């Protein structure tokens, strides 16, 4: 686990170095749109991440999904998402996208770069298969929900917005979206039974393989751009929600509500316990809010995961 964390931090550091040295260019008063952090975020958001999501959904064996086990994760995770969102909506906010954007950090973890190798080491091949099933459905359930929430808030905050216009704008922007649309299209393509042409599959595989390291580089670039000037208290609060509150809720519901124990319970709890993932920063960049806070939350939660991850691994054997 420490080796994987070190590799993640090293990749982030390379992004920070590239930005500090000017290797990615710099925004100027004459060309403010050449901000490397914004440009890289846009490329990741509209090209590499959609390729990863679409290919993942197309290749998923839907008939083999363990629905009972998936429900044991996504029922508490969805309730937790709505609770955190409601809490953030209740507090005074400076921008309509803040509640949902902050909620992404509290519920969406680093389930690929850190989660996949960790699941393979801790739970073996069967545990890894379950973890990958969780990852594939994660985007369909939680990212779709969070996108609908943020687009609804943005549509509602528009001057003179009517109820009809709000619903119309929410549906259009939520589903014609670089995160939700590839997931839905991939699901439909999967159901159709049509296979991917080898050339198309290799193209998507190449783009998808670059998504995770580019997201980590983006964190470093954003750190160099925004520094550590983010709201540390908010970043720490979000980190603790992600590292402790969400896995605790998943553990209680999955074990005592759905009767899970052993390897399946361990996979679900560790999935929930992953540190804040790069989707938090991608959402922040997408909507132009909380970029510094999201970057700080990713760094803080990743460092704290050394202790919190060990804690959950110590608790799980007590439940069989």
Q: Walk along the chain (320 residues) and give the pLDDT tens digit of each residue.
A: 567 667 777 888 888 898 888 887 776 555 555 677 778 877 877 888 788 778 877 887 777 778 899 999 999 999 999 999 999 888 877 788 888 888 999 998 888 767 876 787 788 877 877 887 888 788 778 888 888 888 888 877 776 656 666 666 666 665 666 767 787 888 888 888 888 889 999 999 998 888 778 877 877 887 777 666 657 888 899 999 999 999 999 999 999 999 999 999 999 999 999 999 877 887 888 888 888 888 888 888 888 988 898 899 889 888 76
Specify the pTM. Answer: 0.75
Q: Look at residue 96 and give its three-state secondary structure.
A: coil
Q: Find the helix or strand (DSSP H, E) in which 308 lies.
A: helix 291-315
Residue 15: closest CA among 295, 208, 284, 287? 295
* Range list of H helices, 21-114: 36-43, 49-59, 67-90, 98-107
Q: Look at residue 276 and give its three-state secondary structure.
A: strand
Q: Find the helix or strand (DSSP H, E) in which 196 lies.
A: none
Residue 302: closest CA among 320, 317, 281, 285? 281
By CB neighbour count within 10 A (0-12 exposed, 13-18 middle, 19+ buried), where does 211 fall? buried
């Amino acid at each position: 686990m420490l080796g994987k964390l070190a590799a993640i931090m090293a990749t982030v550091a390379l992004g920070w170095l590239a930005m500090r040295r000017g290797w990615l260019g710099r925004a100027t008063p004459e060309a403010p749109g050449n901000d490397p952090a914004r440009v890289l975020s846009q490329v990741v958001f509209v090209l590499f991440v959609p390729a990863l999501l679409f290919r993942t959904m197309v290749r998923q064996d839907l008939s083999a999904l363990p629905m009972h086990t998936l429900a044991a994760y996504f029922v508490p995770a969805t309730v937790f998402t709505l609770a955190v969102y409601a809490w953030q909506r209740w507090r005074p906010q400076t921008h309509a996208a803040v509640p949902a954007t902050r909620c992404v950090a509290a519920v969406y973890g680093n389930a690929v770069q850190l989660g996949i190798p960790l699941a393979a080491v801790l739970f073996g091949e069967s545990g890894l298969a379950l973890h990958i099933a969780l990852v594939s459905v994660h985007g369909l359930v939680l990212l779709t929900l969070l996108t609908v929430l943020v687009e609804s808030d943005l549509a509602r905050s528009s001057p003179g917005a009517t109820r009809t216009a709000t619903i119309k704008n929410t549906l259009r922007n939520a589903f014609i979206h670089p995160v939700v649309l590839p997931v839905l299209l991939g699901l439909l393509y999967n159901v159709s039974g049509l296979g991917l042409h080898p050339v198309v599959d290799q193209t998507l595989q190449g783009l998808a393989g670059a998504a995770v390291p580019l997201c980590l580089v983006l964190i470093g670039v954003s750190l160099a751009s925004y520094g550590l000037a983010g709201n540390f208290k908010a970043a720490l609060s979000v980190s603790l929600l992600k590292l402790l509150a969400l896995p605790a809720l998943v553990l209680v519901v999955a074990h005592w509500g759905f009767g899970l124990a052993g390897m399946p319970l361990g996979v679900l709890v560790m999935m929930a316990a992953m540190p804040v993932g790069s989707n938090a920063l991608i959402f922040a960049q997408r909507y132009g809010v909380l970029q510094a806070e999201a970057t700080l939350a990713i760094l803080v939660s990743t460092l704290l995961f050394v202790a919190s991850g060990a804690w959950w691994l110590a608790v799980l054997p007590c439940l069989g």
